[in-house]
Amino acid sequence: MFFYDAGKVTSRKITDEGFLQVDALVGRAGVQLYTHGDSVFDSRPDSLKHLDEIRLLRPESEVFNEKSLDSFRLKPVTDNHPP
């Protein structure tokens, strides 16, 4: 499942290994809208196949809990990596 978002980089640091380390927005709470081409929408159950869009509620307790946030901490991200 892929989620995309954008945000302003507020801090950055180059690690001893040469990686760029930044604070980043990795998710947001609220109602998310998905349409054709979104992996969430394309994998929807048969009972929702008649819909042109679906809305998924992601409560703050799911997005901003310690376990969820820790799973993203210091993970590598590739931007525009060659094939």
Can you give the residue ranges of every domain in the chain?
Answer: 28-72
- C-alpha torsion sign, points 55, 59, 7, 19: negative
Q: How many Å apart are CA 73 and CA 66, to the nearest integer? A: 11
| Confidence label for 25 from pLDDT (cuts 50, 70 and 90) | confident
3-state secondary structure of 27: coil
pLDDT tens per residue across span 9-24: 678 889 899 888 887 7
Between CA 78 and CA 16 the distance in angstroms is 18
Structure tokens given for 14? 């180059």
Question: Which residues, 6+ apart, have CB-to-CB distance to 57 below 8 Å?
Answer: 30, 31, 32
**pLDDT value at 57 more than 90:** yes
Report the predicted TM-score, pTM, of the whole model to 2 decimal places.
0.53
